[in-house]
A = this chain, B = another copy of it.
Amino acid sequence: VGLGLNDEKGISLKGLEAAREADVVLIEVYTSLMPDLSLERLEVLIGKKVMAIKRSDLEEMAKEGLLREASEKKVALLIPGDPLIATTHISLRVAAEKMGVVTRIVHGASIISAAIGLSGLQNYKFGRSVTIPFPSQDRVSETPYDVLKDNKALGLHTLVFLDIKEDEKRYMKIGEALEILRSIEIGKRDNVVTERTLIVGIAKAGSEKQIVKAGCISELIGFDFGGPPQILIFPGKLHFMEEESLEVLGGYKK
């Protein structure tokens, strides 16, 4: 069951019904962050206990645990956003179906379409998306830069997810992501991430403190987007209506 965005009221009526009808309700909040979610308020809404589990629990469950339980009871697993975007959740579903445990998906709002919509950019002009991971032992992945470069060459927009390490309560910020990309630019010099590169930063989508801000990197690298979760868009070639959207909705000044 997808929880949608930001808080416990992101769930759909269908999702709430499914949770109410379940014998066991689990919640997994380690693959993305819902900053204003209250487990207590969620339990009141559902009318039963909700047990928080970790990503590693899910991986264990895919082997047997939960699935044995689910073959005898109705188990609802609540997941931020729309389910089945993270590999862990797909694997769990595939393992369940292989064991003969019937699964059903209740969709929720996803940051994927939310971010696209909030930017006012055209959905069909987005190329492949990419995640910027936290550097591990100071080694920086160059994949995000390469994806940006490929999409830019095709005139396409890029949705850039920022890494989350929920165990350590680390959520990458837009400024941090830009610093990582600039450090790659220094080595590669393909003019993909320059001071003049236009970006759209989105923070806390779906909340009352939501921020959507468009501008060039030199303007936005010091901008305070507030708390997590945050996400970035690198626009490609802009239609004049897209440009107007960035001006009106994101405060972009040409």
Interface residues of A (CB under 8 A from B): 2, 4-5, 7-14, 16-17, 45, 81-85, 87, 90-91, 93-94, 97-98, 105-110, 112-114, 116-118, 120, 122-131, 150, 154, 156, 205-206, 241, 244-245, 248-249
Are the C-beta atoms of A2 and B109 separated by less than 8 Å?
A: yes
| CB-contact partner of A109 in B7, B90, B109, B156, under 8 A | B109
Are the C-beta atoms of B105 and A117 separated by less than 8 Å?
A: yes
Q: Name 7 A/B residue pairs within 8 A (Cβ), A-sorted.
A: A10-B12, A12-B108, A84-B120, A107-B109, A110-B110, A124-B131, A128-B156
CA distance A112 to B113 in the complex (A): 7
Which B residues are CB-close (under 8 A) to A126?
Answer: 128-129
How far is the CB of A102 from the nearest CB of chain B, in Å? 12
Are the C-beta atoms of A90 and B245 separated by less than 8 Å?
A: yes
CA distance A114 to B249 in the complex (A): 26
Which B residues are CB-close (under 8 A) to A45?
Answer: 13
| CB-contact partner of A244 in B12, B16, B94, B249, under 8 A | B94
CA distance A118 to B30 in the complex (A): 21
Known: A4-B12, A107-B4, A110-B113. A249 touches B124 (CB 8 A): no
Which B residues are CB-close (under 8 A) to A249?
Answer: 93-94, 97
| CB-contact partner of A129 in B123, B206, B248, under 8 A | B123
CA distance A98 to B110 in the complex (A): 27
Are the C-beta atoms of B109 and A108 separated by less than 8 Å?
A: yes
Known: A97-B248, A123-B85, A126-B128. A117 touches B113 (CB 8 A): no
Which B residues are CB-close (under 8 A) to A123?
Answer: 85, 112, 129
